[in-house]
Amino acid sequence: EAQVTQNPRYLITVTGKKLTVTCSQNMNHEYMSWYRQDPGLGLRQIYYSMNVEVTDKGDVPEGYKVSRKEKRNFPLILESPSPNQTSLYFCASSLAPTNIQYFGAGTRLSVL
Amino acid sequence: AQSVAQPEDQVNVAEGNPLTVKCTYSVSGNPYLFWYVQYPNRGLQFLLKYITGDNLVKGSYGFEAEFNKSQTSFHLKKPSALVSDSALYFCALKAGGYQKVTFGTGTKLQVIP
């Protein structure tokens, strides 16, 4: 089954404790993105990747890191999480030329 | 800079009536426009897209959208609403040739039985 898999689905952590949210897709898509969803703000793009070792900043990259060492994986790293990073996070992948994004089920992060 | 506006936080419509969810955009270059739907506790699902061609685009579950270049709009429509259409709807935009995607703030559609 074609899918984007995020882990974990739920995470509670404390300020400053490094964490990684994993994202994996099995569709051989070139493009992958991370978004955060906040009430009243919709989805905002954090980082995106056009292919292996090619990444770029979205609209809200501060406090986040990404890497794309393999085509299927695109982990999101929070080196020193802060409470303002409490949010619902989505990973997505897409294939040119359709540009249709396929989303993971989401990761709900709480930073205390 | 590119932007997307969804002016209505919530739209209420009676079952069986036509529905419209509004979206306007601003971008330099050719717009790629999308509608996605989000059901509670789920990720987003693709509904339809406009890249080029006919201004009226048909998508999943009986939804359609009309691209209007002069009004920079891409409103989502359905002739007859179902209770199961109740969900959160997002309009999204990317400029052709780039991967930066901008989403609107979302519109909650409530279909009343």
**Probe site for chain A from B32, B44, B98 (most A CB atoms < 10 A):** B44
- Cα of B93 vs its chain's centroid, Å: 10
In angstroms, what separates the C-alpha of A51 from chain B's closest C-alpha?
11
CB A48 within 8 A of CB B99: yes
In angstroms, what separates the C-alpha of B101 from chain A's closest C-alpha?
7
Three-state secondary-structure class, residue B43 = coil
> Which residues in chain A have their CB less than 8 angstroms from residue B104's CB?
42
Model pLDDT, residue B43 = 87
- Closest by CA to B90, choosing from A43, A92, A83, A57, is A43
Model pLDDT, residue B44 = 94
Q: Distances from the Cα of A101 to the Cαs of A45, A112, B70, in angstroms?
A: 13, 31, 27
Q: Which residues of B touch A (CB under 8 A)?
A: 6, 32, 34, 36, 42-46, 49, 51, 90, 92, 94, 99-106
pLDDT at B71 over 90: yes
Tell me what the pLDDT averaged over chain B comes to.
Answer: 93
Q: Each residue of A12-55: pLDDT tens digit?
A: 999 999 999 999 999 999 999 999 999 989 999 999 999 999 99
Q: Each residue of B36-69: pLDDT tens digit?
A: 999 988 889 999 999 888 899 999 999 999 999 9
**Which residue does chain A place closest to B34, by CA atoms?**
A100
In angstroms, what separates the C-alpha of B105 from chain A's closest C-alpha?
4
Is A35 part of the contact surface with chain B (CB cutoff 8 Å)? yes
The dihedral over CA atoms of B4, B97, A35, A21, expressed in degrees to the nearest 10, equals 180
- Give the number of C-alpha atoms closer than 13 A to the C-alpha of residue B14, restricted to the C-beta side: 2
**Cβ pair A99:B51 closer than 8 A:** yes
